[in-house]
């Protein structure tokens, strides 16, 4: 693996074979890109470039799915800003693209890494494929900066792989060329099914790790980290969790490393009975906890998509979401950061079995685990035409 934070670029010999460059830098991106690596290797050469926007959490996913980075920008710095992530990644990606000479660059979702990857491809006049395209909240500051990142990628990308028809419709309304938009589902479901197959082989490992949980009580999994919730909204979320903890439940909350999150969570929830504040967990531990939970409270986009495939109702602790398909399908409820609404919605699911089953048995609108294969087949036709030109 080449670390491009402190080494020069060596030229590679070009072969007459399709070459794909996958660029990602965070744990959610790595999870959703993981199924594409073996799929695309069936039709061409694959190079993986990680910016390491999130270092430790990214590496855990690479290890779990046995992925190797061909290029590592290693840009993560303590207390990094959007400015440093953007400028650092863009500067280094120029050399990566010159070295790899890809036919198509693939980026995923709405991170700053994804935006910069698409921008670098555009600057180099390399075709860009956007995985999980077309999601919109129509509020440029929520989620921040993801909403604008995703919209700008949509303007630069050449091929758009939308998870749902609603996402496709958003792109068409923005005058994206319709023939280049394909509805394939979300690769996060592919990764979830693969991940569950792996952890089932070592279930006892996770039972030992989380043996402090009382299995006689309903488990609630909580995640929260959104920038737009920093400050008072996080205080409201924590007070809601404290209220819910008075029920016969176990609440487990892997607390994000961001100091804005930890400074809100620990003073309010440390030592509260039935609430377990733990350090961030790796991906396999997270999906194991999700599979054992009764319901999930989250502001995570990926978990909104994953949990319904495991039959887990989701309360979305955001004021707006770009993943409205789950709301429409009834697999999720948008509760915002309002203390009263979070508590009332959680208690209804805890005590009303009919309301719970109504959500738990809904079909997941984000796909059936075949997204990577569909993307592979579409790109096979595209690169076939390109190489013949």
Q: Which residues are catalytic?
A: 110, 132, 146, 225, 227, 256
Sequence-ordered list of residues with C-beta below 8 angstroms from that of 175, at least 6 positions apart, any chain: none
Sequence-ordered list of residues with C-beta below 8 angstroms from that of 210, at least 6 positions apart, any chain: 252, 285, 288, 289, 292
In Å, what is the CA distance from 194 to each residue of 9, 59, 188, 189, 190?
34, 18, 10, 9, 6
| Residue 110 backbone dihedrals phi, psi, to 5 degrees | -140, 20
Distance CA(187)–CA(372), nearest Å, equals: 6
Element spanning 154, H or E:
helix 146-156
The structure tokens listed for 127 are 């075709």
Identify the DSSP state of 46: E
Distance CA(82)–CA(79), nearest Å, equals: 10
Please work out, in degrees rounded to the nearest 5, the angle formed at the alpha carbon of residue 218 by the alpha carbons of 214 and 221.
95
């Amino acid at each position: 693996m080449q670390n491009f934070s402190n080494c020069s670029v060596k030229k590679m010999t070009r072969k007459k074979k399709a070459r794909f460059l996958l660029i990602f830098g965070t744990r959610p991106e790595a999870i959703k890109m993981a199924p594409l690596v073996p799929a695309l290797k069936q039709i061409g050469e694959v190079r993986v470039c990680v910016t390491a926007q999130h270092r430790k959490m990214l590496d855990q996913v690479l290890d779990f799915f046995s992925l190797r980075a061909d290029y590592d920008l290693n840009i993560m710095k303590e207390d990094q800003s959007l400015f440093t992530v953007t400028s650092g990644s863009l500067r280094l990606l120029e050399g990566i693209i010159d070295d790899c000479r890809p036919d198509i660059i693939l980026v995923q979702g709405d991170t700053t890494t994804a935006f910069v990857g698409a921008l670098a491809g555009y600057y180099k006049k390399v075709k860009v494929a956007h995985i999980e395209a077309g999601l919109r909240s129509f509020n440029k500051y929520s989620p921040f900066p993801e909403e604008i990142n995703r919209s700008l990628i949509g303007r630069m990308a050449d091929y758009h792989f939308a998870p749902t028809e609603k996402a496709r419709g958003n792109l068409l309304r923005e005058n994206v060329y319709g023939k280049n938009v394909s509805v394939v589902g979300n690769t996060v479901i592919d990764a979830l099914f693969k991940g569950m197959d792996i952890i089932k082989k070592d279930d006892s490992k996770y039972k030992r790790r989380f043996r402090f949980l009382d299995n006689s009580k309903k488990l609630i999994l909580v995640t929260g980290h959104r920038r737009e919730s920093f400050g008072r909204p996080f205080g409201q979320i924590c007070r809601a969790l404290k209220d819910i903890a008075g029920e016969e439940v176990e609440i487990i909350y892997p607390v994000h490393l961001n100091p804005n999150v930890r400074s809100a969570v620990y003073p309010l929830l440390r030592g509260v009975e039935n609430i377990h504040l733990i350090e961030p967990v790796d991906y396999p531990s997270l999906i194991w906890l999700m599979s054992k939970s009764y319901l999930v409270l989250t502001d995570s986009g990926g978990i909104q998509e994953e949990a319904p495939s495991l039959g887990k109702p989701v309360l979305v602790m955001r004021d707006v979401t770009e993943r409205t398909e789950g709301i429409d399908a009834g697999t999720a409820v948008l509760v915002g950061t309002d203390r009263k609404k979070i508590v009332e919605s959680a208690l209804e699911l805890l005590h009303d079995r009919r309301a719970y089953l109504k959500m738990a048995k809904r079909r997941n609108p984000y796909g059936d685990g075949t997204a990577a294969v569909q993307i592979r087949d579409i790109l096979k036709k595209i690169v076939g035409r390109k190489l013949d030109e």
